């Protein structure tokens, strides 16, 4: 059974993807920079007005507290997007046919992409958090809460990256692949990421309250603000695990298809 | 490998269609363990499709295929454990160095670190890549890529190797190097299944040749047997105008026509008597001849002799 090689083959493929990241950094630069630009844009351009809507006279300072957890979700979604492109690009290469004729753990090719992207996501999140702290973000979380934040962000990243990998396999071209996970960028906006959902019109609010990004963003926000997490924590973890399982099985199915099967 | 005489590869009733197009239309063959088998055919004849099915990349529509004794449809992983594949299109990682590519393959074959390093050094030396080992593959020439590609296939010491058009696009010197490498493999007891468009290549390397045309095997046998069927190639006669062409087409014995270039081909065993006969027949009919040339056997002649028409040239299906 090739399952016995899951860890070893995935580690081998991770090494391949890290070499790619190092030698072809063009693709990874954009998702690293974009969340920082958006953070500055939202805090300095919109933040004064939006913050006043959160609490009277709250302004920019109140908004940076509110938006940073949403921006972390945006960062994860942006980094996940890259994997759809890198997977779609890889599938056009002759070496994939070679991998498919080897007795290896088959999903390891995809796992290499996912794991490599998680490294990129971690770097990107660190940069965003550092910039947020520089511009006045003051989370009250203790070490345990920070640990929980890191763990939840990892779960989200794993879920969205596998989903994006599946979309990359589904795409017929690299161009399509770069557009497919775009909806992931929108979800933080259509949730509790940038404004409270109770400020939205009824239909949109229903969607915002029930889509997966909202409980995850709320949990991050509560952990970072040292508040009670409540039921959103369980819901957040459940969403992550469900998306990961479904996306993994979907991606594996798409990759394993033999034309004509 | 055991001394058992189970064939390394056995295909029976192999069929594959893409949409309404039948690419393989009932193909049967068997490859003896330790031999070289060449599948010869023009572009678009189904060679790559055959390799892809044998290498578990593509599912057949019908037929039974066993590779190393395992069923490719139901025991794909066992098949994969026994084979190495070098496809028609480069299967090397451009962003990695030659050595990194080989290390990738050594690790994916689950070789122990030390065994892997030893094998990598040995293959780099054998394929004359030691000096280029630490350069990224994007700087390699076509011949170097092909050698690296094959080295990557060999790292797991497969029992059965598939080479899909291993020398297409290579210069004559690289082609000869590749032939030497293939001969060396057979010396080690490996079974080699190769596809080629070149009769000469099949002749040089193969113990047995099968000719694929339009999804069917039109001939199978040792190179000598096949050559005996097309002893001397053909005579090509060109005419100055359509009238002469048409008259000649009626006079000569079963010529294959090429109306566009106003030329006729007559299969021949190459002896002078045939040439004399063709000229005499044309002379007697009062047909003016623009030029005449004698061609020694190549793949086109095999087709002319076996199928009565020139080999078709359609784009080869894309490997997946």
CATH code of the domain containing B45: 3.40.50.300
Interface residue A221 vs chain B (CB under 8 A): no
Contact check, Cβ <8 Å, A101/B55: yes
* B57 contacts A258? CB cut-off 8 A: yes
Domain match, B128 and B264 both: no
Q: Are residues B90 and B183 in the same domain?
A: yes
pTM check: above 0.90: no
Task: Please report whether residue B250 resides in a domain.
Answer: yes
For residue A108, the distance in angstroms to the closest alpha carbon of chain B comes to: 10
Counted domains in chain B: 2
Instruction: Give the model confidence (pLDDT) of B189-200 as tens digits.
Output: 899 999 998 888
Q: Which of B56, B93, B107 sits opposite A12 (nearest CB)?
A: B107
Residue B144 lies in a domain: yes
What pLDDT score was predicted for residue B1? 45
Residue B270 pLDDT exceeds 80: no
Query: B196 and B243 in one domain?
Result: no
Contacts of B104 in chain A (CB under 8 A): 12, 15-16
Nearest CA in chain B to A21: B95
B50 touches chain A (CB under 8 A): no
Q: The domain containing residue B79 runs over which residues? A: 9-229
Measured in angstroms, the CA of A222 and the nearest CA of chain B are apart by: 43
Residues B210 and B238 reside in one and the same domain: no
User: Once rounded to an integer, what is the mean pLDDT over residues B71-84?
Assistant: 95
A256 touches chain B (CB under 8 A): no
Search chain A and give the residue with CA nearest B78: A103
Q: 3-state DSSP call for residue B256?
A: strand
What is the interface pTM, i.e. ipTM, of the complex? Answer: 0.88
Cα dihedral sign for A169, A170, A172, A173?
negative
Mean pLDDT across chain B: 86
Cβ burial, residue B117 (10 Å; 0-12/13-18/19+): middle
Q: Same domain for B266 and B171?
A: no
In a domain, B313, yes or no: no
Pairing of the two strands B83-86 and B160-164: parallel
Are residues B200 and B258 located together in one domain of the fold? Answer: no
Interchain CB contact of B58 with A (< 8 Å): yes
pLDDT digits (tens, 9 = 90+) for B126-137: 999 999 999 999
Tell me the C-alpha distance between A161 and A79, whole Å.
8
Residues B203 and B254 both lie in one domain: no
Furthest-apart CA pair in chain A: how many Å?
Answer: 64
User: In which residue are the tokens 């753990």 written?
Assistant: A105
CA angle A197, A198, A203 (to 5 degrees): 75
In-domain check, residue B2: no
Please indicate, yes or no, whether residues B206 and B180 belong to a single structural domain of this protein. yes
What pLDDT score was predicted for residue B303? 64
Whether residues B106 and B150 share a domain: the answer is: yes
Q: Which residues contact B88 (CB under 8 A, 6 or more apart)?
A: B48, B164, B165, B168, B316, B319
Could you give the percent of chain B with pLDDT greater than 70? 88
In a domain, B311, yes or no: no
Local confidence band at B313 (pLDDT 50, 70, 90 cut-offs): very low
- Please indicate whether, in this complex, the C-beta atoms of B107 and A95 are within 8 angstroms of each other: no
Cα–Cα distance, B277 to B266 (Å, whole number): 11
Same domain, B187 and B271: no
Of the three residues B213, B229, B245, the one that is the final residue of a domain is B229
Distance CA B152, CA B161 (A): 12
Is residue B43 domain-resident? yes
- Rounded distance between C-alpha atoms, residue A182 and residue A186, angstroms: 7
- Residue B153, Ramachandran bin (φ over 0: left; ψ between -120 and 50: alpha; else beta): alpha
Domain boundary among B229, B251, B267: B229
Which residue does chain B place closest to A22, by CA atoms? B95
Nearest chain B residue to A15 by CA distance is: B104
């Amino acid at each position: 059974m090739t399952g016995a090689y899951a860890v070893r083959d995935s580690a081998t493929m991770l090494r391949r993807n890290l070499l790619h990241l190092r030698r072809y950094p063009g693709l990874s630069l954009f998702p690293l920079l974009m969340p920082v630009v958006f953070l500055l844009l939202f805090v300095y351009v919109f933040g004064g007005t939006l913050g006043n809507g959160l609490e009277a006279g709250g302004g920019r300072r109140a908004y940076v507290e509110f938006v940073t957890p949403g921006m972390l979700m945006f960062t994860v979604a942006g980094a996940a997007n890259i994997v759809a492109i890198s997977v779609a690009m890889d599938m056009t290469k002759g070496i994939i046919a070679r991998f498919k004729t080897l007795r290896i753990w088959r999903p390891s090719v995809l796992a290499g992409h996912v794991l490599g992207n998680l490294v990129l996501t971690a770097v990107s999140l660190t940069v965003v958090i550092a910039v947020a702290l520089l511009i006045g973000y003051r989370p009250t979380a203790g070490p345990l809460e920070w640990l929980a934040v890191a763990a939840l962000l990892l779960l989200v990243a794993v879920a969205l990256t596998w989903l994006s990998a599946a979309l990359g396999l589904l795409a017929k071209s690299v161009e399509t692949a770069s557009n497919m996970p775009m909806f992931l960028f929108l979800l933080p906006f259509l949730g509790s990421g940038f404004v409270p959902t109770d400020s939205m019109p009824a239909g949109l609010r229903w969607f915002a309250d029930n889509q997966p990004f909202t409980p995850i963003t709320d949990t991050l926000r509560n952990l970072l603000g040292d508040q009670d997490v409540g039921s959103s924590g369980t819901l957040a973890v459940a969403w992550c695990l469900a998306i990961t399982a479904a996306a993994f099985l979907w991606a594996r199915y798409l990759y394993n298809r033999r034309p004509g099967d | 490998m055991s001394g058992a005489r189970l064939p390394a590869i056995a295909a029976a009733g192999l069929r594959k269609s893409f949409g309404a197009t039948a690419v393989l239309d009932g193909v049967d063959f068997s490859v003896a363990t330790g031999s070289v088998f060449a599948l010869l055919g023009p572009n678009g004849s189904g060679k790559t499709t055959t390799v892809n099915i044998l290498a578990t990349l593509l599912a057949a529509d019908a037929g039974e295929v066993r590779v190393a004794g395992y069923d490719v449809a139901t025991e794909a992983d066992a098949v994969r454990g026994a084979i190495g594949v070098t496809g028609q299109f480069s299967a090397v990682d451009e962003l990695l160095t030659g050595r990194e590519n080989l290390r990738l393959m050594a690790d994916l074959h689950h070789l122990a670190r030390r065994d892997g390093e030893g094998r990598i050094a040995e293959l780099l030396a054998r394929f004359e890549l030691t000096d280029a080992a630490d350069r990224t593959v994007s700087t390699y020439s076509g011949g170097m890529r092909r050698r690296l590609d094959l080295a990557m296939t060999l790292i797991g010491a497969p029992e059965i190797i598939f080479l899909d058009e291993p020398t297409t696009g290579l210069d004559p010197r690289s082609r000869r190097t590749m032939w030497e490498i293939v001969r060396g493999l057979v010396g080690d007891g490996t079974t080699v299944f190769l596809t080629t468009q070149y009769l000469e290549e099949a002749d040089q390397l193969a113990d047995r040749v099968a000719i694929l045309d339009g999804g069917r095997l039109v001939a199978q046998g040792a190179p000598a047997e096949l050559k005996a069927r097309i002893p001397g190639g053909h005579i090509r006669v060109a005419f100055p105008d359509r009238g002469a062409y048409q008259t000649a087409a009626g006079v000569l014995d079963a010529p294959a026509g090429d109306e566009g270039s106003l030329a006729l081909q007559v299969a021949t065993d190459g002896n002078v008597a045939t040439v004399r006969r063709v000229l005499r027949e044309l002379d007697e009919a009062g047909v003016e001849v623009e030029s005449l040339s004698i061609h020694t056997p190549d793949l086109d002649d095999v087709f002319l002799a076996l199928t009565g028409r020139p080999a078709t040239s359609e784009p080869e299906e894309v490997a997946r």
